């Protein structure tokens, strides 16, 4: 099945909201990680979201090119081709794009989608994230509204963030911010809804103590009730149909009880990157440790080609990453949930 059309992607989000589950949104950087994501979604019989960060795009374009937008286009086009071999739907999304990177990353990708649409194809990506959370809310929303108008013209959904996700990701470090910045207020959520709703479909990364990266249990204090209270502020004023599609950032390492609670408050997408990075790397380390004399040409020896062939350990990495993503789909109750063939 090809990558989801805009209408199918909207139907995916609607189904998750109605069904009380969320899609794992996994960051990819290579053909191997794309295949791991597709394998996981197919084996779990769930639709899912595959996303590219600015750093992931830059990596995929190679050391000499080092162009985030170009690399993201390569990964997206590869996903379009590979997804045709599977019987589930995936949507393509771009992760955090901060204000300074809009012109060099997000806008070139909108141009690429416009070109594809002119050729009779669908947009390259089904959604993009603009992360203006470092700005005052009025400035954040000013740029969000401009980008949402552009996205809506192409049937692309925009994800925005108000409130800051802590920690560090792709070189963007917010670990020094005061704690109150990590929590979106009900007033913020109401303002976001009223400013963006008339312009097109959006999904909202409201923050409730989320932190990027890996931490020991208990180190991160999530407050999912913030999502409940924000949704209530919106629906009390605008009716039950105004409930927003929310995004859970920093999902790696979270307690299952917190994950499940957010599903009750409208989360339809949870980002997972740190845990899948570790799952990918762990079997590679094992392979190297168990085959060190074959991997290295020590004291003039020739080594063992079959164990230093990258395929020997990257296949194990693909499988382990897929297994971790299947676990995430079960945590989010999306396993067995696909609209493929119904829309």
Crossing angle of helices 31-44 and 68-83, in 10° steps, is: 40
Residue 319 burial (CB count, 10 A): 17
Residues 6+ apart with CB under 8 A from 267: 22, 227, 246, 247, 248
Determine the Cα–Cα distance for residues 244 and 260; give it in Å rounded to an integer. Answer: 17
With H, G, I as helix, E, B as strand and everything else as coil, classify residue 317. Answer: helix
Structure tokens at 84: 């045709």
Nearest-CA neighbor of 44 among 27, 21, 28, 76? Answer: 21
Catalytic residues: 95
Name which of 110, 152, 158 is nearest 130 in CA terms: 158
Spatial neighbors of 297 by CB under 8 A, at least 6 apart, are 303
Instruction: Name the token pair of 21.
Output: 């589950």
State the greatest distance between any 2 C-alpha atoms of the chain, in Å, as a whole number: 75
DSSP symbol at 179: G
Q: What is the dihedral of CA 8, 59, 109, 46, to 10 degrees?
A: 0
Give the span between the Cα atoms of 280 and 37, in whole angstroms. 11
Report CA torsion sign: 226, 230, 233, 238.
negative
Residue whose tokens read 């207020």: 185
Contact call for residues 94 and 113 (beta carbons, < 8 A)? no
């Amino acid at each position: 099945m090809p990558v989801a059309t805009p209408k199918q992607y909207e139907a995916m989000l609607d189904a998750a909201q109605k069904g009380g589950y969320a899609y794992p949104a996994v960051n990819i950087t290579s053909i191997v990680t794309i295949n791991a994501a597709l394998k996981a979604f197919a084996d779990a019989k769930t639709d899912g979201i595959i996303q590219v960060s600015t750093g992931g795009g830059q990596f995929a374009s190679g050391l000499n090119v080092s162009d985030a937008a170009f690399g993201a286009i390569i990964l997206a086009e590869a996903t379009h081709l590979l997804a045709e071999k599977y019987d589930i739907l995936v949507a393509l999304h771009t992760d955090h794009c901060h204000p300074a990177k809009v012109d060099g990353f997000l806008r070139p990708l909108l141009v690429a989608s416009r070109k594809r649409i002119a050729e009779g194809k669908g947009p390259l990506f089904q959604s993009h994230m603009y992360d203006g959370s470092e700005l005052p809310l009025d400035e954040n929303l000013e740029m969000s509204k401009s980008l949402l108008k552009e996205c809506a013209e192409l049937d692309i959904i925009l994800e925005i963030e108000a409130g800051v996700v802590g920690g560090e990701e792709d070189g963007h470090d917010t670990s020094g911010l005061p704690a109150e910045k990590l929590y979106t207020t009900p007033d913020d959520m109401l303002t976001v809804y009223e400013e963006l709703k008339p312009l097109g479909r959006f999904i909202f990364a409201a923050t409730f103590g989320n932190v990027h990266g890996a931490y020991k249990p208990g180190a991160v204090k999530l407050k999912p009730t913030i999502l409940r209270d924000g949704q209530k502020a919106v629906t009390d004023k605008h009716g039950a149909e105004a409930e927003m599609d929310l995004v859970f950032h920093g999902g790696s390492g979270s307690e299952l009880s917190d994950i499940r609670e957010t599903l009750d408050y409208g989360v339809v997408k949870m980002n997972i990157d740190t845990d899948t990075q570790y799952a990918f790397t762990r079997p590679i380390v094992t392979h190297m440790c168990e085959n060190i004399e074959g991997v290295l040409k020590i004291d003039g020896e020739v080594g063992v080609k079959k164990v230093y062939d990258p395929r020997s350990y990257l296949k194990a990495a693909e499988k382990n990453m897929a297994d971790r993503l299947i676990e995430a789909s079960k945590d989010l109750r999306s396993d067995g949930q696909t609209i493929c063939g119904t829309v």
